[in-house]
Structure 1
Amino acid sequence: METSVSEVVESFKDFLLVKYPDHYKKIENRLKDDELSAKTEALIFSYLRFHFNEVIVGEDISNGGVDFIVDANEIKFFCRSNFFKSFCHKLPNWHR
């Protein structure tokens, strides 16, 4: 079964609402102001959560910073979703 981008975004928003309410407000605003960035962030988060045990929202709400901190079997790395923005809009069915 294929998951649409819209479903991924809604799932990400649900996660933020429960775990990071301030980030939920920010993603809501970003969906209005810069939809591509918001969708990219949701897709990257979904990919990371699927492949790694622990994904933490690392962005400081007022200062910015890395979007995600990933704990991958004792190795931690950081991820900024803006790096992937130029690639994500080229995906098939991007607007679904």
Structure 2
Amino acid sequence: EKEVNSMIGRNPDFARRVAIDFSDNLASAKMLIPIPDDFPIMAGEILRVNTGLDIHLDANRRPVVALVGVSLMGVPIPNAWLGNMK
């Protein structure tokens, strides 16, 4: 975790927008995404996104990565909206 966040920290602009946290079989990311001024909704605002990835090896020792959840501005996105990304 420290190494990944230190690589992110090498770019000061990126470091202010992304933080990654690791635990058993889970990687969580917190991101601040600026919305362009010419975007029709929330122009010029900052979108806060939290997401998690389940990371493990299957029975054949192949890596499996699955989206655990996504929230925008603290509101969880329904699994049906995530479609085939899970």
**What TM-score, normalized to structure 2?**
0.31
The structure in which a higher percent of residues are strand is 2
